Amino acid sequence: MGIPETVNRPKRMRCVGQTSAIPTTPHFFTFVFMTKNLHIEHPEDSILTGDLSVLDAFLLPLILSLKIDGAPSIVWGRNPASGLQFVGTKSVFNKKKIIICETPSDIEKHYAHKPALCQILMACMAYLPITKNIYQGDFIGFGGSKNYRPNTLTYSFPEVVKSKIIIAPHTKYYAAEDLRDAIAMPLTENLQSGEHVKYVQPYAFISDGANAFHELADLIEYAKNCATCVDFVDEKTAKKIKINLNYLIREGLEVNPADFDDDGNYGNSNLIELWKVVNEIKLKALDLCEDDADFETRVNYTERTKGEGYVMITRFGYFKLVDRREFSYNNFTNSNRRFATA
pLDDT at residue 306, rounded to an integer: 76
Question: The dihedral of CA 14, 16, 20, 21: what is its sign?
Answer: negative
Cβ atoms of 319 and 43 within 8 Å: the answer is: yes
Nearest Cα neighbor of 50 from 275, 211, 249, 242 is 275
- Range from 28-32, 252-256, 322-326 carrying the lowest mean pLDDT: 28-32
Can you tell me the mean pLDDT for 138-148? 97
Q: How many CA within 13 A on the CB side of residue 97?
A: 2
pLDDT the model gives residue 268: 87
Residue pLDDT, tens place only, 37-88: 557 899 999 999 999 999 999 999 999 999 998 999 999 999 999 999 999 9
Bridge partners (DSSP) listed for residue 321: 310
pLDDT for 4 beyond 50: no
Could you read off the pLDDT of 162-200 as tens digits, one per residue? 999 999 999 999 999 999 889 988 898 999 999 999 999
Across the range 134-162, mean pLDDT stands at: 96
The pLDDT, as a whole number, for residue 23 is: 40
Beta strands 197-199 and 165-174 are parallel
Q: 37 versus 278: which is more confidently predicted?
A: 278
pLDDT band with cut points at 50, 70 and 90 for residue 10: very low
Contact 89, 74 (CB under 8 A): yes
pLDDT of residue 35 exceeding 80:
no
What distance in Å separates the CA atoms of residue 10 and residue 8, rounded to the nearest whole number?
A: 7
Q: Which pLDDT belongs to residue 228?
A: 97
Q: What's the CA gap between 159 and 36, in Å, rounded?
A: 34
| pLDDT score for 18 | 27
- Looking at per-residue confidence, does 150 or 22 come out higher? 150
Parallel/antiparallel/unpaired status of strands 147-148 and 303-304:
unpaired
Query: How far is Cα 230 from Cα 225, in angstroms, rounded to an integer?
Result: 10
Mean pLDDT across 142-153: 95
Mean pLDDT score, 267-290? 95
H or E element at residue 245: helix 235-250
Please state, for a pLDDT cut of 90, what percent of the chain lies above it: 71
When pLDDT is averaged across residues 128-144 and rounded to a whole number, the result is: 97
Q: Which pTM value belongs to this model?
A: 0.81
Q: Is the pLDDT score of 25 beyond 60?
A: no
pLDDT recorded at residue 30: 46
Query: What is the torsion angle, in degrees rounded to the nearest 10, for the CA atoms of residue 29, residue 320, residue 94 and residue 186?
Result: -30
